[in-house]
Amino acid sequence: MNNDILCICYSRTGKTRQTMAEIAAALDCEVMELHDHARRTGAMGWLRCGLDAMRKKTIAVNRIETPQPLWRYKLVILGTPVWAGRCSSVMRAFLKRRGYELDEVAYVITHSSDEPYREVFDQMDLYLESPHVADVSLRPGSAGYIFWRDQFLKTCADFAGCELLPIPEETETAEAAEATETTETAETAETAETDKPAKNEETE
């Protein structure tokens, strides 16, 4: 376990959680999740999220217990969805209360549109003592998702001086694809061998 890096995230639908789980797996670090007590599910919850973000309204979030003070980590990676062109109110609440404890920070934002929302990074920096050191804007499921995620991972690994590990799900997928290809190749070869006439058979 890499104790020099910590991932902290908030996820309403699970997409940001999945992205941060992939990042934490590659960096071999712990990921902790934020939550508040507002009802954010369903259509009304979605509407509330947008209104809270636009009004910059926050309520108390859970206090995460870390093995060491936040400022001691070489890098803390914060992951949040984008709400109405802003970071989620849950992440904003965390930054308001504990942003001063963070030293070196990187950002991961997720969204469902093609807009990169890079202004969100500047909004989040307002709660830090110094600007963030790395960032990435991701649209889960998009063609460039894996490329930009991996570029971000390389930046974080170089900054923290650590090695990247294979992401488990992608490793399993690659192994399954390789096994399928091997099986298909063997079956094709077997079929071709079966179709050959025997040496003692006469051909016309």
Per residue in 91-146, pLDDT (tens digit) is: 999 999 999 999 999 999 999 999 999 999 999 999 999 999 999 999 999 999 99
Provide the CA 179 distance to its chain's centre, in angstroms. Answer: 27
pLDDT exceeds cutoff 80 at 199: no
Is-contact 132 105, C-beta < 8 A?
yes
Question: Which helix or strand (DSSP H or E) is residue 52 part of?
Answer: helix 42-55
Residue by residue, what is the 3-state secondary structure of 80-138?
EEEECCEECHHHHHHHHHHHHHCCCEEEEEECCCCCCCCHHHHHHHCCCCCCCCEEEEE
Per the model's pLDDT, the better-predicted residue between 193 and 101 turns out to be 101
Looking at residue 113, its amino acid is S
Q: For residue 2, what pLDDT is reported?
A: 97
- 72 is written with which tokens? 């001691």
- Mean per-residue pLDDT of the chain: 86
CA distances to 41, 109, 195 from 47, in Å: 9, 19, 64
Choosing among 3.30.2130.10, 3.40.190.10, 3.40.50.12140, 3.40.50.360, the CATH entry for 5-160 is 3.40.50.360
**Going by C-beta distance under 8 Å and a sequence separation of 6 or more, which residues neighbour residue 68?**
3
Q: For residue 181, what pLDDT is reported?
A: 46
Q: Where are the alpha helices (DSSP H) in 56-144?
A: 89-98, 119-125
CA distances to 133, 188, 189 from 78, in Å: 12, 49, 51
- 14 is written with which tokens? 């699970």
Per-residue confidence at 39, pLDDT binned at 50, 70, 90? confident
Per-residue confidence at 170, pLDDT binned at 50, 70, 90? low
Domains of the chain, residue spans: 5-160, 167-196
Q: For residue 197, what pLDDT is reported?
A: 42
pLDDT exceeds cutoff 80 at 149: yes
Q: For residue 41, what pLDDT is reported?
A: 87
Angstrom distance (rounded) from CA 166 to CA 188:
31
pLDDT exceeds cutoff 50 at 189: no
Per the model's pLDDT, the better-predicted residue between 170 and 16 turns out to be 16
- 17 is written with which tokens? 């959680």
Per-residue confidence at 46, pLDDT binned at 50, 70, 90? confident
Is-contact 83 120, C-beta < 8 A?
no
Q: For residue 168, what pLDDT is reported?
A: 82
Residues forming beta bridges with residue 105, ordered by sequence position: 76
